[in-house]
Amino acid sequence: MHKYFNTQKSNKIKTMNNHIAIFAFPFGSHGTPLLNTTRQLASLAPQNKVHFSFISTPNTITSLFPSGSKTDADYPNIKAYEIWDGKPEGYVFSGNHLDEIDLFLKHAARPGALTKVLEEAEDNIGVKVSCVMGDAFLWFLCDLAKEVGVPWVSCWVSGEHSLSVHVYTDVLRERFGIQGVEAREDETLDFIPGLSKIRVKDIPDGIATGNLDSTFAQMLHKMSQALPNASAVCISSCEELDPVVTNDLKSKFSKTFSIGPLNLVIAPQKIADNYNCLGWLDKQKPNSVVYVSFGSAATPTPNELFALAQALQASGVKFLWSIKDHLKVHFPNDFLEKSRENGMVVSWVPQIEVLAHDAIGVFITHFGYNSVTESIAAEVPMIGRPFFGDHKLNGRLVEAVWEVGLQVEGETFTKEGILKSLDRILSSDEGKKMRANIKSLKHLVGKAVAPDGSSNKNFRLLLEHITKT
């Protein structure tokens, strides 16, 4: 019995059904994959037997449930609940999102801070919470699950390689030391199974490099220490992509479910092609168009945007660039006017459909995990400029492990560097080899995300795991 229930409430709560409480990390793009995971589980579960309470901050819930209803339109057994974001009354955004993360974590990680929302969900549904599930960043869900006496399932919304380096945080810090690690940045992680081509400088900041005292670094370290206590860990990748890394992670956790890549396993919601990008692509030759996009959170510097525009103009290649309107001021003065014949510059595109179009020959990206896996699924080689998080690690995988793309020289866009990379991919035998390699990768991933593939089988096993209590 939950220790915060009184006898009267306990008598009202049913125990024959399952009630899964799912907590989303309310920053960046973390909420969407977790909601998609919830929807996939809901699609496999009997609606009248398994209930899902999706919990996050008001802004996240509003963005993910835009209709204003806190019940999912397609899955009535999913209901949304809000928790406080930690911002005091009168809070003014400082311009640094890490400050908001700090406020949220200081509130949410406090003992007892999240029990009220569980009580609200249980009273609303009439079924006790039987499992706590959530984003791996929320390490304190381990304590919450213990408090209410239910299993904890942790969800890593990126790939197995980035999870692996986090799991080995203490080993990496001990091996390389915190001071002077930059002098050893070219050393490889050959002591970690499957990471022999990954270098110290490819590791995300907060593990062995960067400010290890920051709130974000401390969060990641606590996560790495807590994960072995989870009853299961889900990964947004497939077992076939790197069995060595996956099997090593399996040895670290009680259970491991590779259920991704989530953006490929779960059919995406249809996005309107408001600018007729696909119609424009229909008029272009196969493998001739450069697609440029850096996702919703990464932004090159003004100088880099200027250099990238110059390179596209000088190359003469056709291009489709998705960029926010307010950033266009950093283009050369005549760029938009002179590019009308060769290019389209728009504020939003249906990325999956664009990448899948035969006209796309290369993708200039930030190496975000979703973009990388979507590019693999579409057989499009990449040119990437990493920004933060797992971008550098993903870029190293793309260039040196899978050999399906290139990282920009010096991790900064220059006109000469972009022109050189475009030539290597679009006009050389090296580019042909990349396309052959990415075709093989697509076959591996495609097999896993097929209806009878390993990722979908693992989704069914995950549902079995979270409903067995």
Q: What beta strand segments (E) does 228-385 contain? A: 232-235, 256-258, 289-292, 318-322, 343-346, 360-365, 382-384
Task: Indicate if 357 belongs to the active site.
Answer: no
Asked if the structure places residue 272 within a domain, the reply is no
State the average pLDDT for the chain: 92
d(CA 71, CA 367): 33
Residue 3: is its pLDDT beyond 70?
A: no
Task: Find the domain containing 392 and state its range.
Answer: 277-448
Cα–Cα distance between 429 and 433 in angstroms, integer? 6
In this structure, what DSSP letter does residue 348 have?
-
Give the pLDDT score at 48.
Answer: 83
Residue with tokens 């496999």: 44
Number of domains in the chain: 2
- The Cα–Cα gap between 442 and 111 comes to 45
Cα–Cα distance for residue pair 40/35, rounded to 1 Å: 9
Residues 42 and 163 grouped into a single domain: yes
The predicted pLDDT at position 425 comes to 96
∠ CA 132-134-137, rounded to 5°: 135
Measured between alpha carbons, how far is 431 from 279 in angstroms, rounded to an integer? 26
- 2 in any annotated domain: no
**Structure token digits, residue 58:** 């008001």
- Does 333 lie in the same domain as 315? yes
What is the CATH classification number for the domain harbouring 210? 3.40.50.2000
Write down the pTM of the prediction. Answer: 0.93
Catalytic pick among 19, 30, 330, 391 = 30
With beta carbons less than 8 A apart as the criterion, state whether 121 and 53 touch: yes
* DSSP code for 399: I
* Tens of pLDDT, residues 387-435: 999 999 999 999 999 999 999 988 899 999 999 999 999 999 999 999 9
Confidence (pLDDT) at 347: 95
Active site residue 135: yes
Tell me, yes or no, whether 20 and 158 share the same domain: yes
Helices (H), 151-242: 160-167, 169-176, 215-226
Residues 30 and 76 in one domain: yes
Together in a domain, 251 and 140: yes
The 3-state DSSP class for residue 312 equals: helix
Please pick, among 19, 51, 85, 135, the residue that the annotation labels catalytic. 135
Give the residue among 237, 181, 233, 236 at the shortest CA–CA distance from 206. Answer: 181
pLDDT attached to residue 8: 36
> How deeply is 457 buried, as exposed, middle or buried, from its count of CB atoms within 10 A (0-12, 13-18, 19+)?
middle
